[in-house]
A and B are shown apart, each in its own frame.
Chain A
Amino acid sequence: MKRLFGLWKKRTPELETAPGKSGGKGFLTFHNTGEVLRAERLLREAGLPVEVKGPPPELRTGCDMVIVFELLLEPAARRVLQREHLEPLSAVPVDDPLLEPVSLFHTTDYGRWFMVRAANMKITVEKDTGTIVNVSGGGCPDVPWLAARLNGRRVSEAEEPCIRGQTLCAYALHKAFVEARRLWREGA
């Protein structure tokens, strides 16, 4: 039933937002990417529909993300964040398309192991045990630190990289990790 509902939903035509209009969406900015990762997790856990995207060019400094949310839900979002002492720098209506994060995964089968790549990050898992045997790629300074925490742990039990990660590479690693965990659970 869920599957049918998904198909029906995809086929429903949607009215595109006119250029230059927010369509009721806004974005929250934070001091750093680590705060964005934390805020996304808190808002999702609270059931609020949010997305992570790239900031508009005038706000980019190098390693940035913003959280896109329904403007009508701003008070609720702020309440969730305030409870955890997280204060957004600003809330801004979305006027132009924002950069989309990578959503493509590439999987390589190495026999006893499989590797998942998301953007510039790769994670390799032993099929029999689910043990993470290697993390490679990336260029932000938390990657070696996160890799050391993940290596040797089971993908089903290891802490998700987004919990302590603070950069876009960490977020890409998080996506690769979640995909690897999904594949392993499905018997990759």
Chain B
Amino acid sequence: MSWIICGSVPDADFPLSLSSWRLEEGQLYTSAEAFLPHGGTLPALSVQRGTPALIAAALQVCQSLALPQPLALLAGDTGNGKGSLALYAFLSDWLPSTSEMVAGLTFHYLFPNVDGHNRVLMGVRAYAEKHPAPVLAADAGFMYAAKMSGYAGEYDLFTPDAGELAFLADENAPHPFYTRGFLLGSGLSAEELAQRAHAHGNCARTLLIKGAVDSVAEDGVLVARVDSPDIPFMEPIGGTGDLLTGTVTGLLMAGYPMRRACTIAARTNRLTGKLASPTPATQVGELIPFLPEALRQALADRA
């Protein structure tokens, strides 16, 4: 069984590729079995923010729990959407025909395009006619497209931050950029916003909401909160949300139930911050080495 992380690399020349990666001294290196449908070679990836940070976190969890590595379906995209559209086309063709057993898919930094999203979702449905349905998790640009498509309810997990939660709660906004002010600056609680997003069919069954207090909502109802340790300097650090999504991906791969995976991931992220003692100028790559010990502590808390 494999889990596929789908995202982008901020390099227009990076080729479309399906591969596993290993983390060594802050860099990602591909395995020998990389599949490159359009050819090319894969460079090492620096773990900054974005999908490489998500992959690095998932790899840390997999290594800690002795799990096989996830696969990563990656495309180079610096914002014009070409790489993302190529990824959507490949995935929508590949899923219905593959013999690979896919336990889950995590979608990440991809150009939000509703048509591309819908093709992928049709591919997932075709796959699920012959196999157990994979778990679907989405964050970042693909989450925006999933919400705008009207099919958000087919997803198992979204991982929004406070601004993105307001966007999910706004039935009129096609992108967080258009979230109406009465939702964005309203002081509405995370639960009120989650309820509103759920009522309009604009969110996944589970929301892992990142914020000063991390919350888990199921079908619009808040079911868990994680508020310690409190590390306010984590918010300005680009990529901490990517680490959280990568960590929850690893825990879902390990078979943890959704709610438990979310709460352990949130606690792990906070403990990572505590162990790293960051400032607002800390870079996400400096946090990643602390993740295995943070995970160990978070799992010990829950034992």
What 1/0 mask marks residues of chain B from 263 to 284 whose CB sits below 8 Å from any chain A CB?
0000000000000000111110
Which B residue's beta carbon lies closest to that of A149?
A: B10
State whether A62 and B236 are in contact (beta carbons under 8 Å apart), knowing that A106-B185, A133-B280, A140-B141 are contacts in the complex. Answer: no
Measured between alpha carbons, how far is A119 from B144 in the docked complex, in Å?
Answer: 13
Query: B83, A141: Cβ atoms under 8 Å?
Result: yes
Mask of A137-154 contacts with B, CB within 8 angstroms, 1/0: 111111111111001000
Taking a contact as CB atoms under 8 Å apart, the answer to whether B281 and A141 are in contact is: no
A15 at the interface (CB under 8 A from B): no
In the assembled complex, A4 has its CB within 8 A of some CB on chain B: no
Choose from B50, B144, B173, B174 the contact partner of A143 (Cβ within 8 Å). Answer: B50
Cβ 8 A contact of A141, one of B10, B172, B176, B240: B10
In the assembled complex, A103 has its CB within 8 A of some CB on chain B: yes
> Secondary structure of the A side of the interface?
mixed
Supposing A110-B236, A141-B141 touch, asked if A102 and B109 sit within 8 A by C-beta, the answer is no
Tell whether, in the assembled complex, residue B109 and residue A140 are in contact, meaning their CB atoms are under 8 Å apart.
yes
Name A166's contact: one of B11, B78, B83, B175 (CB within 8 Å).
B78
A165 to B111 alpha-carbon distance, docked (Å): 13
Q: How far apart are A141's CB and chain B's nearest CB, in angstroms?
A: 4
By size class, the interface of chain B is 35 or more
* A169 touches B (CB below 8 Å): yes
**B114 and A61 contact, CB distance less than 8 A:** yes
B84 interface hit (Cβ, 8 Å):
yes
B77 within 8 Å of A (CB atoms): yes
At the interface, yes or no: B251 with Cβ under 8 Å from chain A?
no
The verdict on A139 contacting B177 (CB below 8 Å), with A124-B236, A144-B48 known, is: no
B238 contacts the other chain (CB 8 A): yes
CB of A60 within 8 A of CB of B174, answer: yes
Question: What CA separation (Å) do A101 and B282 show in the bound complex?
Answer: 30
Chain A contacts with B in 107-128, Cβ cutoff 8 A = 108, 110, 112-113, 115, 117, 119-120, 122, 124, 126
Does the CB pair A115–B235 fall under 8 Å? Answer: yes
Could you mark each residue 71-85 of chain B with 1 if its beta carbon is under 8 Å from any beta carbon of chain A, else 0? 000000111110110
A54 contacts which of B49, B111, B178 (Cβ < 8 Å)? B178
Of B159-167, B191-199, B201-209, B254-262, the segment with at least 4 beta carbons within 8 Å of chain A is B159-167
Q: Is B145 among interface residues, defined by CB-CB distance under 8 A?
A: yes
Does B28 belong to the interface (CB within 8 Å)?
A: no
The residues of B with any CB-CB pair to A shorter than 8 Å are: 8, 10-11, 48-50, 77-81, 83-84, 109-117, 139-145, 148, 161, 163-164, 167, 172-181, 184-185, 232-233, 235-241, 279-283
Listed A/B pairs (19) with beta-carbon separation below 8 Å: A61-B113, A62-B116, A102-B184, A108-B236, A110-B232, A110-B236, A113-B280, A124-B280, A133-B236, A134-B281, A136-B235, A136-B236, A140-B109, A141-B111, A142-B79, A143-B49, A147-B238, A168-B177, A169-B176
Residues of chain A having any CB pair with chain B under 8 Å: 32, 34, 54, 60-64, 99-104, 106, 108, 110, 112-113, 115, 117, 119-120, 122, 124, 126, 133-148, 151, 165-172
Beyond contacts A120-B161, A136-B236: 16 other A-B pairs, Cβ-Cβ < 8 A, are A34-B79, A62-B144, A63-B113, A63-B175, A102-B184, A108-B235, A119-B177, A133-B236, A135-B238, A136-B49, A141-B83, A144-B48, A146-B79, A167-B79, A169-B141, A169-B176
